[in-house]
């Protein structure tokens, strides 16, 4: 097991959004989280890498044990360094080129010298077939290209876990496939991934496990076929039936 959270609690303005989440993430797995909008899936991801701070809970990550209610600065930095996030709206730096966006985290987060960082960024763009776009700014790229660069920016840092927050939901339908293909390739290369998505094809075909999240908790978790074909809970059945 790579990362575990126990009894994660988070309120916003008295509203209990995460109500005692228990979650284990195994090395090399693709854990897909599905569930209704507004149920707290994004909040869960953001609490895993301290973009938001939990009220309470425990995290075991590699050999560290962290009190999520009062993590030390070093622990927060350590977790951020070993995780990376891919955002719904890409969150690329608007005033930086594709290559600079990818190199940035290596230089400022990991202390890599600029020349090496740019070489790595260029190589990442070559691997994606986007090398000819390396000097383009985000506004000169399609949403799909921006998100593929967002994924390259996250993975070039070699994080233990990549957290994907609805990575394709802002994209035009015809661009979704290009991004999912990059994610599938990453999965095949053994990258540990946690993916919040409404793309049920991806959940069914690429996930190692699928978690159904609702009402502040993981309601059910298992192999894709178990969750999709033999859901145990009424709440899961309702959600899946509404999609059909």
Q: Which of 43, 83, 101, 236 binds ligand ADP (CB under 6 A)?
A: 43
What's the closest the beta carbon of residue 61 comes to ligand ADP, in angstroms?
A: 21
What's the closest the beta carbon of residue 199 comes to ligand ADP, in angstroms?
A: 14
Judged by beta carbon, residue 41 or residue 148, the one nearer ligand ADP is 41
What's the closest the beta carbon of residue 14 comes to ligand ADP, in angstroms?
A: 10
User: Sheet of 3-12: strands edge to edge?
Assistant: 15-25, 3-12, 56-61, 64-67
What's the closest the beta carbon of residue 67 comes to ligand ADP, in angstroms?
A: 22
Q: Which of 5, 21, 30, 40 binds ligand ADP (CB under 6 A)?
A: 40
Helices (H), strands (E): how many in the chain? 9, 10
List the one residue out of 172, 15, 14, 151 whose CA is nearest residue 85.
151
Structural contact between residues 118 and 171, judged by C-beta atoms closer than 8 angstroms: no
Residue 87 in contact with ligand ADP, rule: CB under 6 A: no
Residue 47 in contact with ligand ADP, rule: CB under 6 A: no
Q: Which of 14, 38, 111, 173 binds ligand ADP (CB under 6 A)?
A: 38
Q: Which of 5, 31, 39, 153 binds ligand ADP (CB under 6 A)?
A: 39
What's the closest the beta carbon of residue 43 comes to ligand ADP, in angstroms?
A: 3
Interface residues with ligand ADP (CB under 6 A) are: 12, 17, 37-43
């Amino acid at each position: 097991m790579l990362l575990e959270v126990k009894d994660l609690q988070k309120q916003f303005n008295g509203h209990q959004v995460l109500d005692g989440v228990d979650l284990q993430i195994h090395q090399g797995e693709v854990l897909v989280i599905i569930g209704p909008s507004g149920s707290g899936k994004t909040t869960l991801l953001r609490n895993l890498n301290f973009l938001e701070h939990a009220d309470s809970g425990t995290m075991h990550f590699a050999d560290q044990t962290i009190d999520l209610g009062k993590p030390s600065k070093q622990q927060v930095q350590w977790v951020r360094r070993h995780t990376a996030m891919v955002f719904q709206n890409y969150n690329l730096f608007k005033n930086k080129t594709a290559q600079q966006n990818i190199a940035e985290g290596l230089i400022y987060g990991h202390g890599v010298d600029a020349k090496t960082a740019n070489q790595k960024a260029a190589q990442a763009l070559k691997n994606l077939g986007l090398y000819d776009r390396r000097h383009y700014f985000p506004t000169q790229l399609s949403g799909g290209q921006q998100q593929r660069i967002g994924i390259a920016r996250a993975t070039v840092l070699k994080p233990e876990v990549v957290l994907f927050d609805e990575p394709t939901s802002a994209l035009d339908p015809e661009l979704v496939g290009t991004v999912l293909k990059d994610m599938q390739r990453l999965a095949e290369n053994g990258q540990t991934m946690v993916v919040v998505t409404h793309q049920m094809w991806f959940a069914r075909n690429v996930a190692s496990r699928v978690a159904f999240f609702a009402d502040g908790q993981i309601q059910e978790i298992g192999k894709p076929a178990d969750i999709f074909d033999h859901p145990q809970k009424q709440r899961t059945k309702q959600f899946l039936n509404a999609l059909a």
